[in-house]
Amino acid sequence: MIVHLIDGTYELYRHFYGLRRFNKGEDAPFGAVIGVLNTVLQMIEADATHIGVATDHVIESVRNELWAGYKTGEGIDGALRAQFHPLEDALAAMGVVVWPMVDLEADDALASAARIAADDTRVERVCIWTPDKDLAQCVRADRVVQVDRKSGKIRTEEGVRAKFGVAPSLIADYLALVGDAADGYPGIPGIGAVGAARLLNRYGAIEEFPADVLGNTRDRALLFKDLATLRTQIPLFTNVDELRWRGPGAGFAALVERMGDTRLLGRCEKILSRANRVEACASEDEHGGMKYRTGAVSGLASKLQSASKVFHSFWEAVCHSTYSCRPVQ
């Protein structure tokens, strides 16, 4: 099986500001939420079966206690903020596993979920759907990969090295040195991307640096590394079967009617109907069942008329059982 882990907060931002390009600032109350639901259904229609979505229930986290300048929810557009919690409710009603994070962040949930899923020998691949560079530290060979839906890039361990100049295991160190403006910490003065990669490849983790390399900025660098290091021990689930999508709950019909897009329910029903037919075919031909499933991935993906060209171009690479990752520059 392939496990898909989605950065729900990023997806909500992406859809919100994507709609802003056309709505002239007249934001529909649930416009971005509907967009995210459509994106998740698009994946399920293309044969994704095991899905988990992580969200930031609030932007602030324990990291704000470690560094005063760490990112906060200040400045978030009110129309966007108003859709944070409705997204979580809508995903849960649609039958998708969702992890709303409070003390820790959505990135921590993705990292923990990736670790749990990758430890299961039944899992062929874990796909983390986010462009956030923090999640590059979770990449493992071509078993745990990072997928950027917008650019169409699939980043393997080799791809992480090509982009940042260091292995995934050193990404937290790298970010500590160069800083992360999106998260609100500046890095170490005088050290850029090239210099950081050179130091890390020469000495290893920051803790292994000779004392004179960072001087009196060493403690600050270690603090920033702590900020950049994702937590992987959150007990989100115990069995990947908990992530299997089995259809929406009883309250989904009323919810989509209230949001103004009842087509979402119809799509769910079609997916379930098709899944039942596939299961029936597989049970009739036990030996040919896997062959049918493999062909169905490409077939279903090709029928996604609403999918973008980027989605079409790399979905098979992400989900097809014969896929082989190529590093991304």
* Positive or negative: CA dihedral 108, 202, 193, 329: negative
1-166+242-329, which class in CATH? alpha beta
Residue among 44, 297, 222 at smallest CA distance from 214: 222
207-257 confidence digits (pLDDT tens): 999 999 999 999 999 999 999 999 999 999 999 999 999 999 999 999 999
- Kindly state the tokens that stand for 240: 């990947």
- Please, are residues 282 and 119 in contact by the beta-carbon 8 Å criterion? no
How large is the greatest C-alpha to C-alpha distance in the chain, in angstroms?
Answer: 70
Residue among 247, 301, 307 at smallest CA distance from 96: 247
pLDDT at 93: 98
pLDDT at 324: 34
Residue among 286, 282, 321 at smallest CA distance from 301: 321
Q: What amino acid is encoded at 10 in this protein? A: Y
Phi first, then psi, for residue 247 (nearest 5°) are: 110, 165
Which segments in the chain show pLDDT lower than 50? 289-312, 321-329
CA atoms within 13 A on the CB side of 266: 4
Rounded CA-CA distance 199/181 in Å is 21
Query: What fold does the segment set 168-228 form as a domain?
Result: DNA polymerase; domain 1 (1.10.150)
pLDDT at 315: 53
Angle at 269 between CA 23 and CA 106, to 5 degrees: 55
- Please, are residues 236 and 116 in contact by the beta-carbon 8 Å criterion? yes
Residue among 182, 195, 134 at smallest CA distance from 160: 134
Angle at 17 between CA 12 and CA 19, to 5 degrees: 95
Helix (H, G, I), strand (E, B) or coil at 99: strand
Residue that is written with structure tokens 């690479």 in the block: 317
Angle at 200 between CA 69 and CA 128, to 5 degrees: 65
pLDDT at 124: 96
Rounded CA-CA distance 71/182 in Å is 7
Radius of gyration of the chain, Cα coordinates, nearest whole angstrom: 21
The residues spanned by each domain of the chain are 1-166+242-329, 168-228
- Kindly state the tokens that stand for 236: 């989100």
